[in-house]
Amino acid sequence: MTHAAAHSASHSAHDDTHGHPPTSTGLDNKKIAIWAFIGSECMLFASLISTYLIYKGRSVVGPYPHDACLPPGCSTPLKAILNIPVTSASTFVLLMSSLAMVLALAAVEMKDQPAPTTFGDKLLRSSKLWLWMTAILGATFLGFQAFEFTSFVHEGLTIRTNLFGSSFFTLTGFHGAHVTAGVLWLLTLLAIDYRRGLGPKDAINVDLAALYWHFVDVVWIAIFTLVYLIK
């Protein structure tokens, strides 16, 4: 029996502190709900990604994502509109936000342990630090996306320009909306942390936010490859 299993056996899953009746699965209903929600979100993003892929290469007019047409083949040079270096940086930022999020959850779970003695321990055990870090990295990702959208509009690509514009802005816009919701969720957790402090009893609530945040990250992993890298 693992330590976690032994540990959990000593704690009632549904003690009075939660005030909820027992569940038939023995699992927290909120966690089952977030996984069911994430499952439904998989299908939402699958529909958006497949729409993008179906419309890919079918735009009648430019700008185009990858196909650069340069003289002498074309009278007017058509530069690929996707900015891979910028998007690579934003992808790295989102990946690091997932690391910060998982460290925030670990810090909350360790709150009832003896006070850390070294500076490194204090950093690792600071839930506020990692929640702030996750929110800031998420906001930075949104900043990159705002920059990208603005530059595309300046280069003549809007949601109404062509099929690429319609499917691209819809897909990445939906993802950006999810990141925005995630940042707001993180800020509410931070507000609770400042108000009364997050402890092990709140780990389930931080876990729900973390699962949502990591899902947003894995969706971007798919979008980065399918939209940006595959020509």
* Contact positions with other proteins (CB under 8 A) in 91-110: 91-92, 95-96, 98-99, 101-103, 106, 109-110
User: Any contact of residue 78 with other proteins (CB under 8 A)?
Assistant: no
- DSSP structural state of residue 23: P
- Strand-pairing partners, residue 69, are 78
CB of residue 45 to other proteins, shortest distance in Å: 7
Indicate which single residue of 19, 36, 86, 131 sits in contact with other proteins (rule: CB under 8 A). 36
Cα–Cα distance between 156 and 14 in angstroms, integer? 57
Retrieve residue 216's tokens: 């947003």
User: Any contact of residue 5 with other proteins (CB under 8 A)?
Assistant: yes
Nearer to other proteins, 102 or 153 (CB): 102
Which of 99-104's residues contact partners 24+ apart within 8 Å by CB, and which partners? 100/130, 100/133, 100/134, 100/137, 101/130, 101/134, 101/209, 101/210, 101/213, 101/214, 102/210, 102/214, 103/130, 104/130, 104/131, 104/133, 104/134, 104/206, 104/210
Cα–Cα distance between 107 and 126 in angstroms, integer? 6
User: Any contact of residue 163 with other proteins (CB under 8 A)?
Assistant: no
CB of residue 35 to other proteins, shortest distance in Å: 4
- Specify the stretch interacting with other proteins by CB under 8 A; choose among 6-14, 72-80, 132-140, 149-157: 6-14
Task: Quote the crossing angle between the two packed helices 127-154 and 84-109, to the nearest 10°.
Answer: 160
User: Any contact of residue 7 with other proteins (CB under 8 A)?
Assistant: yes
Cα–Cα distance between 223 and 174 in angstroms, integer? 12
Binders of other proteins in range 44-63 (CB under 8 A):
45-47, 49-50, 53-54, 56
CB of residue 229 to other proteins, shortest distance in Å: 5
CB of residue 177 to other proteins, shortest distance in Å: 19
Nearest to 174 by CA among 62, 59, 67, 43: 43
Binders of other proteins in range 13-32 (CB under 8 A):
13-15, 18, 25-28, 31-32
CB of residue 12 to other proteins, shortest distance in Å: 8
Per-residue binding string, other proteins, 167-186, x by CB under 8 A, is: --------------------
